[in-house]
Chains A and B, each alone.
Chain A
Amino acid sequence: MTTVDTAPIRRKSFKKMITDSRAIQLVILLIGVLILWAIISAVIERPDRYLPSPLTTLFSSVDLLQKGVLTSFYADTLTRLVIGSILGIGLGIPFGLLLGLNRNIADMFYPLMNFFQSVSGIAIFPVIVIWFGNSNTTVMIVILYTAFFPIAFNVLSGVRSVPMRYISAARTLGATRFQIVKDVLLPGAMPSVAIGSRLSIGFAWRAVIAGEMLAGQAGLGNMIFAGQELDNTAQIILGMMLIGLTWIMLDHYLLRPLESDTIERWGLVQR
């Protein structure tokens, strides 16, 4: 079928451009939010306490940067996140693999894991505080605890989803048990590992913030909490924005590409 497009090439109208381009929309949105924010903070009483203007928030960030506190807080939080999630994922993968390998073990530990998963890391915090005090260890344990379950559950279901055919084929060709794990199950579970890691890191990020707030360990979470105690609302808002932006960046530029790459490379797309 050959059709000749005879419609005249129309130039995009300005209105169309505004509603279609994502970047322009984002800029408009950003400006709109900032203006709204500025207006609200100009109208309300005692804006320094309830909602400091965007400029005040910016100045407070410059102030904190000059003191060198902001960077050190930021580094503290990120270090905790990295170490905590590496430990959590490092423990979760072998555990999920173990459960995925043996049906009996899986049936045995699944209800227990389910129970402990529903005891969220934050709820367990008071117990850990009694055991280890308000220390860095407490925060790390809470992070590790939160990061452990999503990855373990995902690896378990990932290993389960590897078709029996592949395992049988490898076994027929004389593969040992270890080889099957290494060459069939682990690569087959790779997409789940990626998805689970992203979930784990997401949960861990929340746990870092909450843990720092509750245990009073230096970091972004503590920065916003201290901002509330010091009556420095600009510092709270600054911290919140940093928390949000960091996660968006981390998710958008590191975790999501990693996930889709892994799925592309290892995904068992069956046709």
Chain B
Amino acid sequence: MTAINEFSVAVQRRFGRQRLRKFGLGLIPFIVLITLWHMNSIFVWFEPVEIPPIADVWGAIFWLQSDCPGILAAIEGHNGCQLTNNISSSIARVILAMVVGVPLGVAFGIMAGMNRVVSAYLEPIGVFMNSVSGIAWIPLAIVWFGVGWETTLFIMLNTIFWLLFFNTMMGVRAVPKVLIQGVQTLGGSRLDVILHVYLPGAMTSIITGLRMSMGFGWRALIAAEMIGGDSGLGFMIFVSSAEFKTEEVFLGVILISLIFLATDRWILVPLEKWTIERWGLVWKPT
């Protein structure tokens, strides 16, 4: 008994009592839900087509990967590896859209933030573009680019670009004038001001925009893949749903949210915290 006591004390010391309590309490609904789900497959309150057994959802991973020769082939994108192919094609689009969209959004945002005339003309367009949510662009994108890669990429880019544009613009505007004048007095060129004042000053706002655009963009991407895509997780769940393969749909939905949660929790939130610590303008000139 004392061994157990000592162990629990050690665990509490290691993780903190409050965090343990929160973790334990938070686990309860998940356990209840999973138990109910499992009981459903035993007592069949709902047909397996409506709610598939947990084992089937787990099995769908192997079923989708059944033609996959190995890990190396999965990385190369072998035709048989359906699940990994869909995951990687979704993620590749996110990365590609980020690589193209983030610099563009930041560049235009800085431009609009610096210049009143530019912002006067770009801002209303941005408001309109943000209101025509990414999803509403899908039909037009299909007409322009056809069903496939370009359409989904376009939807994602469109969502990312305007959100980042707005956030960068707001960040640049919030940079105190004194700092800019300081650099200019010391002989800094326009480029110096952009690189050393505007960009670091707007950094926290840019990263917040990045996190937001990831949240909106991921949703828009899934929708775009459903309607106008030919690969990706959204495409997978949509096709599986039409074929009544509910276990694949469940697997896809769970994966979609897990991927999003993981990127948010382990990449974007730490990044946001770090930027605020590193670049946040805590000091305010009076």
Find out whether the CB atom of B241 lies under 8 angstroms from the CB atom of A224. no
Interchain CB contact (< 8 A) of A130 among B49, B117, B125, B218 = B49
Find out whether the CB atom of A112 lies under 8 angstroms from the CB atom of B26. yes
Does A37 have its Cβ within 8 Å of any Cβ on chain B? no
Interface size class of B (residues with CB under 8 A): 35 or more
Within 8 A of A (CB), among B113-137: 116-117, 120-121, 124-125, 127-129, 131-133, 135-137
Q: Tell me the interface secondary structure of chain B in the complex.
A: helix
- Report the bound CA distance from A225 to B246 in whole Å: 25
- Report the bound CA distance from A240 to B134 in whole Å: 10
Known: A118-B261, A240-B137. A214 touches B226 (CB 8 A): yes
**Interface-located stretch among A175-183, A243-251, A256-264:** A243-251
Does A63 have its Cβ within 8 Å of any Cβ on chain B? no
Residue among A112, A122, A209, A225 facing the most chain B CB atoms (10 A cut-off): A122
Find out whether the CB atom of A123 lies under 8 angstroms from the CB atom of B256. yes
Find out whether the CB atom of B257 lies under 8 angstroms from the CB atom of A119. yes
What is the distance, in angstroms, from A105's C-beta to the closest C-beta of chain B? 9
**Interface-located stretch among B198-206, B232-240, B274-282:** B232-240
In the complex, chain A residues whose CB is within 8 Å of the CB of B128:
244-245, 248
Q: Which residue of A lies closest to B21 (CB)?
A: A107
Question: B196-236 interface mask toward A, CB cutoff 8 Å, 1 = contact, 0 = none?
Answer: 00000000000000000000001100110011000000100
Find out whether the CB atom of A123 lies under 8 angstroms from the CB atom of B222. yes
In the complex, chain A residues whose CB is within 8 Å of the CB of B132:
240-241, 243-244, 247
Question: B249-262 interface mask toward A, CB cutoff 8 Å, 1 = contact, 0 = none?
Answer: 11011101100110
Find out whether the CB atom of A123 lies under 8 angstroms from the CB atom of B253. yes
Does A227 have its Cβ within 8 Å of any Cβ on chain B? yes
Find out whether the CB atom of A243 lies under 8 angstroms from the CB atom of B131. yes
In the complex, chain B residues whose CB is within 8 Å of the CB of A50:
143-144
What is the distance, in angstroms, from A241's C-beta to the closest C-beta of chain B? 8
Interchain CB contact (< 8 A) of B135 among A32, A107, A129, A209 = A209
Within 8 A of B (CB), among A185-216: 205-206, 209-210, 213-214
- Report the bound CA distance from A209 to B138 in whole Å: 11
Find out whether the CB atom of B120 lies under 8 angstroms from the CB atom of A19. yes
Find out whether the CB atom of B219 lies under 8 angstroms from the CB atom of A130. no
Does A83 have its Cβ within 8 Å of any Cβ on chain B? no
Q: Tell me the interface secondary structure of chain A in the complex.
A: helix
In the complex, chain A residues whose CB is within 8 Å of the CB of B29:
108-109, 111-112
Within 8 A of A (CB), among B21-62: 21-22, 25-30, 33, 49-50
- Report the bound CA distance from A104 to B138 in whole Å: 43
Does B150 have its Cβ within 8 Å of any Cβ on chain A? no
Find out whether the CB atom of A108 lies under 8 angstroms from the CB atom of B28. yes
Within 8 A of B (CB), among A112-143: 112, 114-115, 118-120, 122-127, 129-131
Residue among B129, B135, B218, B219 facing the most chain A CB atoms (10 A cut-off): B135
Find out whether the CB atom of B143 lies under 8 angstroms from the CB atom of A126. no
- Report the bound CA distance from A221 to B132 in whole Å: 11
**Interface-located stretch among A1-9, A22-30, A68-76, A87-95:** A22-30
In the complex, chain A residues whose CB is within 8 Å of the CB of B139:
213, 224-225, 227-228, 236, 239
Q: Which residue of A lies closest to B30 (CB)?
A: A112
Find out whether the CB atom of A111 lies under 8 angstroms from the CB atom of B30. yes
Find out whether the CB atom of B133 lies under 8 angstroms from the CB atom of A206. yes
Q: Which residue of B lies closest to A122 (CB)?
A: B223
Q: Which residue of A lies closest to B216 (CB)?
A: A206
Does A85 have its Cβ within 8 Å of any Cβ on chain B? no
Does A110 have its Cβ within 8 Å of any Cβ on chain B? yes
In the complex, chain A residues whose CB is within 8 Å of the CB of B240:
126
Q: Which residue of B lies closest to A229 (CB)?
A: B139
Q: Which residue of A lies closest to B219 (CB)?
A: A120
What is the distance, in angstroms, from A26's C-beta to the closest C-beta of chain B? 6
Find out whether the CB atom of A123 lies under 8 angstroms from the CB atom of B116. no
What is the distance, in angstroms, from B95's C-beta to the closest C-beta of chain A? 19
Q: Which residue of B lies closest to A121 (CB)?
A: B219
Known: A131-B50, A214-B226. A123 touches B125 (CB 8 A): no
In the complex, chain A residues whose CB is within 8 Å of the CB of B3:
none
What is the distance, in angstroms, from A185's C-beta to the closest C-beta of chain B? 22
Does B7 have its Cβ within 8 Å of any Cβ on chain A? no
By Cβ-Cβ distance, the 8 closest A-B pairs, closest first, are A126-B241, A111-B26, A228-B139, A244-B132, A119-B257, A247-B131, A120-B219, A244-B131
**A–B complex contacts, Cβ < 8 Å, 21 sampled:** A19-B117, A19-B120, A50-B144, A107-B21, A107-B22, A112-B30, A115-B257, A119-B256, A122-B135, A123-B252, A123-B253, A123-B257, A127-B249, A206-B135, A227-B139, A228-B142, A231-B143, A245-B128, A248-B127, A248-B131, A251-B131
